[in-house]
Structure 1
Amino acid sequence: MNKRLILLVLALLLPLSAAAQVLRFATWDGSENLGIQRRIAAAFEQRHPGVRVQLEAYGGGFNQKLSAAFGARNPPDVMMMWNFPLYHRVLEPLDAWQAREPAFASADLVPGLLRFASAEGRLYGVPAGFTSQVIYYNKDMFDRAGLAYPQPGWSWEDLAALSRKLSRPAAKVYGYGLDVAPDPYDFQGYLWSAGARMLGADGQRVQGEFDSAGSQAMFSMLLGLLDQGLAATLGVGDGKNQRQLFVADRVAMLMDGAAFRLELAQDGKRYGVAPLPSFQGRPAQSVVSVSSLAIARDSTQKALAWQFIRFYSSAEAVRLRQGDLPVLMSVARELRLQEDPLVQPFYAMALSMQEVPAFLLNPRWTRASAVVRDAIQAVFLKQGEVGPILGKAALKAERKLQ
């Protein structure tokens, strides 16, 4: 075989060799976060010559596309994941992989995040990002009213008192913005702070939980804010875009997660962040939303996939993910985020969560969640009395779990 023929054969073989090292990574991120994902993938490729990370941006159709890929037995090797109770049977258990690496910094993770990446007592993911819920307040509105900013240890009574001084209902200006069509997941924090739940600790009972006295007390308090003209109804009608209302100085306070601060930064809006207020003397609790990385059980490149997850979870990659709150406490300390008043409340509220979200208690919770969502909206749109609406929904939701 002459030299020219050898070079031709090598040229034909090289693409095949490279193709065998393609690692597929599915993400729901878009926009700027997608650019960060690409930088992380490029950094991983530099450390693994001959490997190419194929970033698959599923966007808003993430769940549908991922389910279709699993159904076709052609899933990505690595994927973003949050609903482990639903997907864990098609994912690779990671306990053995983690045990092989004593240096795995699980102790450095924000406390409590690993429970979101587990199902039936086994680990299926590694946390990559998180957020809790806090109260954003509009500094311009507070300053014009001559009011002190909210401080840790405040209560819903304090929030209502501030709202009375900030609200001008005739001008459609309100102290608080209440999402009256919320994701039930996010709304759990309201109930936990009142000593109530959507789903009992046994993962079966909705009756006596969602319609409990504590739950009804919280709903009644929030309805009172609406009835007195102290709160705008977000999520429906003119209140769909809370960002615009906040920036336009029509809403002084609202509850949201970490992504909202990035939107406000783009607007150049002066704002502050406070922990959630307490209710009837009980400590406030926030829900925590966690995104993790998981490996498909059908992946043929599990060792490489694990190395990618380990790199994605390293301090180097965590620093690159500027849109996320760092899941590593060491990075948070390095960046002095515990001293940043716009960030520290997120960590404080993440540590406040003592309850377990409903979807982690019962993998069939998605069947009941829509019933709960409709009931919440029915209460706030005043389609009946609080007690009967919640009682009827509790019965119906519990039947959905059977």
Structure 2
Amino acid sequence: MNKKKWLAGALMVGLACSVLVGCGKKEEQGAEKDGKVTIKFSSWDNFDEGIIKAFEKENPNIKIENIQVADSDYSQKINTMIIGGNAPDVILSFEADLPRFAQSGAIESLDPYIEKGASFDVADFIPAVETIGESTGGNYGLPWAYASEIMYYNKDMFDKAGVDYPTVDWTWDDFKAAAEKLTLREGNKTTQWGADAISFRGMWYSMIGATGDEIVDKEGNLALGEGLVKALEFQNELTNDLKVSPQPTSGDAVSDLFASGSAAMTRTGSWMTMMYKDNEFNWDIAPLPAEERDYNTLHTGFYTIASSSKHKEEAWKFIDFMMSETGQTMTSEWGNNPSALKSIAAQGAFKNPGKTGPSNWETFTESADSGQFGYTLINPSVTTSLVNDFDSYLLGAKTLDEIVEKSIPNAQKQIDKEE
């Protein structure tokens, strides 16, 4: 949710500048004195050098120069490089940037390369990859892995309360009923919450999607309707009526009540399986409870080839390696995220259980089947602003009418302005 917004209108200027003479001196990319071709590859925060070295060992004539940028600055930095004509050959793109890059011509279609022969089968991808390919008019990016949004639960608390563990068939009503039974109070003080507040704030969109709202339509516009109201009212019931979930907090005040043993359930990202490895209590995972449908938001990055690259064939070799069984397995072992290629994910290289959980790894497969990229395809400054308003509703500072009649239209205006 903290990814910087893209510089949409300037992309076309940057692309024109890259092909016209006199738009500024462009940094030379190419072969070094030893005959090797250097490929610039950008990623955020950090990337496993071991995977890069494995590629270079298989391709001794290609050297990878990894450009690492902080997550919070990544989108802005990449857009600036594209505008300046110095885009990396291979860009690991944020979800929100991929459609815009494809539409503007900043990146190449990968379909011609795939058709010539690839180390993977596009039919093996999880459903959401095909969906985003339909929206961009083909495969312009390939996912390095994926993370989903799931539910975590404290098995010890469930056992003590005599509550059955969550299943793939759980609904919002099941979640609410369990939260009521698992909430403990001493007088006016809550000593154990049935469910933590929404600490990963993007979870709001998984709740909205579960009602049937599409979040984002095929044109990249917000598609929030009655489902938004239903999700807000449900979380408000948990928070302010039943008081089985605490008030939302933000900034440095955010605390993980599930990890501290103060909440029986939490809904957050699958990446937290690593953070919870050292929990003292027994715990496990399950898919998010459904309402009108099963839904959760997926998260990833997409390998793309910059249209300005002088070494597209070598860039493709790198991407193809990263999508191969070797590259995907190494990526899963490093990041503990499953491959978006179902056959490779099934091998389980991403599994890294702690002493007390989890064991229900089928949750990942079930979440991949129902997962969509959804809100991550929208400028994060827009979705973050909306979440602030959702939290304000729970805190009594905004009404439902204000969100529906003002917040949503204002968010759409911001999206329109960037086109």
- So what's the TM-score if we normalise by structure 2? 0.79
Alignment-derived partner of residue 234 in structure 2: 221
Give yes or no for contact 1:273–1:341 (8 Å, CA) kept in 2: yes
Distance, in Å, in 1 between the alignment partners of 2:255 and 2:220 is 34
The residue type equivalent to 2:229 in the other structure is: Q
* Residues 1:308 and 2:322 aligned together: no
Query: Which residue of 167, 172, 187 corresponds with 1:156?
Result: 172
Alignment-derived partner of residue 329 in structure 1: 342
Give yes or no for contact 1:371–1:396 (8 Å, CA) kept in 2: no
Query: Which residue of 274, 283, 298 corresponds with 2:308?
Result: 298
Give yes or no for contact 2:161–2:181 (8 Å, CA) kept in 1: yes
Change (3 A) 1:300 1:331: same
Distance, in Å, in 2 between the alignment partners of 1:124 and 1:213 is 33
Distance, in Å, in 2 between the alignment partners of 1:172 and 1:336 is 38
1:113 deviates by 1.6
* Residues 1:96 and 2:118 aligned together: no
* CA deviation string 1:171-202 (max 9, x = no partner): 4531112327823xx43221121123444566
More divergent stretch after superposition (265-274 vs 68-77): 265-274
Give yes or no for contact 2:209–2:295 (8 Å, CA) kept in 1: yes
* Residues 1:399 and 2:409 aligned together: no
Give yes or no for contact 2:179–2:193 (8 Å, CA) kept in 1: yes
Distance, in Å, in 2 between the alignment partners of 1:95 and 1:125 is 10
- SS for the counterpart of 2:33 is helix
Query: Which residue of 392, 396, 407 corresponds with 1:378?
Result: 392
Query: Which residue of 85, 109, 123 corresponds with 2:99?
Result: 85
1:238 deviates by 7.4
Give yes or no for contact 2:199–2:254 (8 Å, CA) kept in 1: no
Alignment-derived partner of residue 125 in structure 1: 141
Gaps of 5+ in 2: 1-30, 352-357
Change (3 A) 1:114 1:284: closer
Query: Which residue of 139, 149, 152 corresponds with 2:155?
Result: 139
1:103 deviates by 5.5
Alignment-derived partner of residue 189 in structure 1: 206
Query: Which residue of 44, 50, 53 corresponds with 2:55?
Result: 44
1:150 deviates by 1.0
Give yes or no for contact 2:298–2:373 (8 Å, CA) kept in 1: no
- SS for the counterpart of 1:177 is coil
Give yes or no for contact 2:41–2:67 (8 Å, CA) kept in 1: yes
1:42 deviates by 0.7
* CA deviation string 1:330-367 (max 9, x = no partner): 223333989x84321122122124x772565xx7x567
More divergent stretch after superposition (42-51 vs 79-88): 79-88
Alignment-derived partner of residue 58 in structure 1: 69
Distance, in Å, in 1 between the alignment partners of 2:172 and 2:91 is 39
The residue type equivalent to 2:211 in the other structure is: A
Higher helix share: 1
1:368 deviates by 4.4
The residue type equivalent to 1:175 in the other structure is: G
% identity of equivalent residues: 22
1:313 deviates by 0.4
1:249-260 equivalent positions in 2, closer than 5 A? 249-260=261-272
Distance, in Å, in 2 between the alignment partners of 1:163 and 1:350 is 25
Change (3 A) 1:265 1:118: farther
1:121 deviates by 0.8
Equivalent pairs counted in the alignment come to: 368
Distance, in Å, in 2 between the alignment partners of 1:269 and 1:18 is 56
Give yes or no for contact 1:276–1:284 (8 Å, CA) kept in 2: yes
- SS for the counterpart of 1:294 is strand
Alignment-derived partner of residue 14 in structure 2: none
**Over aligned residues, Cα RMSD in angstroms?**
2.8
Gaps of 5+ in 1: 1-14
- SS for the counterpart of 1:134 is strand
* Residues 1:288 and 2:306 aligned together: no
Q: Which has the larger radius of gyration?
A: 1
Query: Which residue of 355, 367, 375 corresponds with 1:349?
Result: 367
Give yes or no for contact 1:180–1:381 (8 Å, CA) kept in 2: no
The residue type equivalent to 1:39 in the other structure is: G
Alignment-derived partner of residue 116 in structure 1: 132
- So what's the TM-score if we normalise by structure 1? 0.82
Query: Which residue of 150, 169, 178 corresponds with 2:197?
Result: 178
After the TM superposition, list the runs of 4 or more consecutive aligned residues in structure 1 that deviate by more than 4 angstroms.
199-204, 266-269, 365-368
* CA deviation string 1:43-67 (max 9, x = no partner): 1111112322122221322212212
Query: Which residue of 398, 401, 404 corresponds with 1:390?
Result: 404
